[in-house]
A = this chain, B = another copy of it.
Amino acid sequence: MNTIGIAVRLTLFGSSHGPGVGCVLDGIPPGLKVSQEQIQSLVDLRRPSKGIGTARAEEDVVQVQSGIVDGRTSGGPIHLFIQNKDTDSSKYERFRTVPRPGHADYPALIKYGEAHDIRGGGQFSGRMTAPIVAAGAIAMALLETKGVQIAAYTQSIGEVLDTEEHDFQTITTVPRRFSTRAAGPKVAALMEKEILKARSEGDSVGGSVRCLAVGLPIGVGEPFFDSLDGELAKMMFAIPAVKGVEFGAGFRASAMRGSQNNDPFEIRDGKVVTVTNNAGGVLGGLSSGMPLDLRVAFKPTASISKEQRSVDLVKKENTTLVIEGRHDPCIVPRAVVVVEAATALVLADLCVRGGFIGR
């Protein structure tokens, strides 16, 4: 349902075309300093970029309605609300009859029947990720008190793949300079081109996000089922359009030998580290002390202006569909901060659960 987390718990509400979207974030320890600006600046990173994003213009001003008093958490539930302003619901009724390929329309209509709120995707809307980012900003502030930092970037858009390794510090700053959230100027230019090409053809394009977290204590995660990787994966699949999640070498590891994939331990500067990080910072479901390294695959935006084949559910016959409206040709750049926030929420939950962060 719309609640996730045990010790730090997020509950989402709202819908794309109702009064607004928001969340309740519960379990954040009292006394954490977090300003409205901190939250807002993260949410702003999720807004569509000029040029490559949708034309829907939402200001997405986050209203902190409880749980933060005078810039400090009170220990009570934090209530965040974001008004919907620029809604245009007129074009959605048709999708009750002719579901959009690649969207939740069809199974949602079967599951919820006529009462399904199809305007803007209703409860399935990508807009539900705005409060995830807002809540994630608070989770990040909490993690930072323990030296945990999270940063993500666009690793691929369509066929353009960034194969370079990047310094963590780079990722915390560079991607914010580019509308594509790429980790460098060259790849940013190529990715932008890939997006603009798809848009010009009335099409969309997928991509992938890589997220890293450093400073995590060793042993975060609970075996057997509430593992670090399992909880992160569950959270990532909540982000609309995610189709795959992998850690470290991930799917590549399945083609490797043990002698290649095992990360040898060594002492470096008096600390136990591994020479490589094919494990992506997770061993046995627990953080290993090496950087957490996950990749998330996003499918192309389902809404495209190209004509598509669909069916008329009433007439029970084949038909075609042209989706009008304002859509992102690629949601990956906007998803980068969502992946960061989602990661932060899971890490905060597991850190509090495991006693790594006091309550």
Contacts from A to B (Cβ < 8 Å): 1-4, 6-7, 9, 11-15, 18-22, 24, 26-27, 30-31, 63, 65-67, 69, 72-79, 99, 101-108, 110-117, 122-124, 128, 156, 158-159, 161, 198, 203-208, 218-219, 222-227, 229-231, 233-238, 240, 242-251, 253-267, 270, 272, 274-275, 278-280, 283-289, 297-304, 306, 308-311, 313, 316-318, 353-355, 358-359
Contacts and interface: CB of A to CB of B under 8 A. Distances in A.
12 contacts: A13-B26, A30-B113, A75-B112, A75-B117, A101-B262, A198-B257, A204-B259, A206-B253, A207-B254, A224-B238, A258-B301, A265-B311
A224 B285 contact: no
Contact of A206 (B101, B205, B254): B254
B284 A14 contact: no
A272 B106 contact: yes
A238 B244 contact: no
A230 B244 CA distance: 10
Given A24-B11, A284-B108, A75 B116 contact: yes
A198 to B, nearest CB: 6
A238 B304 CA distance: 37
A15 to B, nearest CB: 5
A335 to B, nearest CB: 11
Contacts of A354: 111, 359
For this chain, the copies found in one complex come to 4
If over half of A's interface residues share one DSSP class (helix, strand or loop), that class is named, otherwise mixed; here it is: mixed
Nearest to A313: B272
Contacts of A270: 316
A255 B159 CA distance: 5
A196 to B, nearest CB: 13
A104 to B, nearest CB: 2
Contacts of A267: 311, 316-318
B288 A107 contact: yes
Given A225-B4, A233-B237, A266-B318, A112 B259 contact: no
